[in-house]
């Protein structure tokens, strides 16, 4: 199976995921913010993540500039990557739907913010981050290139490690014991099923 098929799968998924994020960001721009925890390290880490999710994969998929770092992957790895990518995109979409107007691309709480505990949030507190971890794994399986393939794994990890504890602190500050109880019955990025 030519790797161009899996590069095409990646490009289609990238477009679908990007359109979904933009679509759900649209109605949230006009809401009043009660607590904004955006910081310059956060913005720097988001920019670094963009290199791993957009720049290097696009260079790999649509140019020959990164061909020197290509390596062979078996076809089954690409098909597994396609399946993982589909799961990631579904989870990303479902997370946005379940959060509705509570979603924000930056760490903030809106004045009319509610704690969402239904849908995919019933068993997992950060399904969007879980979706991005799945996306990163899919990228490594779809793009057989030492630079572009693992780029999202490398660039997303610092954002996740810095942002999630800060977001959970913000939610504890805003929702208190309600959020603490929610934490006790859910997994952070792996669903708690028991």
CA gap 70, 184 in Å, rounded:
44
Does the structure show a pLDDT above 70 at 63?
yes
pLDDT of 85 reads: 98
Find the radius of gyration of the CA atoms of the chain: 18
Closest listed residue to residue 133, CA positions, set 160, 115, 109, 106? 160
Q: Across-strand partners of 122?
A: none
CA gap 123, 125 in Å, rounded:
7
pLDDT of 30 reads: 53
pLDDT of 1 reads: 54
pLDDT of 95 reads: 96
CA gap 64, 148 in Å, rounded:
12
pLDDT of 124 reads: 97
Contact 124, 190 (CB under 8 A): yes
Does the structure show a pLDDT above 90 at 105?
no
pLDDT of 34 reads: 64
What fold does the segment set 3-19+54-102+115-185 form as a domain? 1.20.120
pLDDT of 39 reads: 78
Does the structure show a pLDDT above 80 at 33?
no
pLDDT tens figures, 108-123: 887 888 999 999 999 9
Q: What is the mean pLDDT of the chain?
A: 91
- Of 34-43, 69-78, 152-161, the range with the lowest mean pLDDT is 34-43
pLDDT of 42 reads: 82
Q: Up-side HSE of residue 16: CA atoms within 13 Å toward CB?
A: 16
């Amino acid at each position: 199976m030519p790797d161009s098929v899996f590069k095409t799968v990646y490009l289609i998924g990238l477009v679908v995921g990007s359109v979904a994020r933009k679509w759900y960001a649209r109605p949230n721009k006009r809401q009043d913010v009660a607590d904004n925890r955006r910081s310059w390290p956060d913005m720097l880490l988001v920019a670094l993540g963009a290199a791993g999710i957009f720049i290097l994969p696009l260079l790999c998929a649509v140019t020959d500039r990164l061909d020197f770092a290509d390596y062979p992957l078996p076809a089954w790895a690409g098909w597994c990557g396609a399946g993982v990518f589909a799961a990631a995109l579904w989870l990303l979409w479902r997370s946005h739907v379940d959060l509705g107007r509570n979603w924000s691309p930056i760490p903030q709480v809106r004045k009319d913010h509610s704690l969402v505990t239904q849908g995919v949030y019933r068993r997992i507190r950060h399904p969007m981050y879980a979706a991005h971890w799945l996306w990163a794994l899919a990228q490594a399986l779809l793009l057989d290139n030492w630079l572009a393939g693992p780029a999202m794994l490398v660039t997303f990890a610092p954002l996740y490690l810095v942002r999630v504890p800060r977001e959970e602190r913000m939610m504890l500050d805003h929702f208190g014991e309600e959020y603490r109880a929610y934490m006790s019955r859910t997994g952070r990025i792996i669903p708690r099923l028991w």
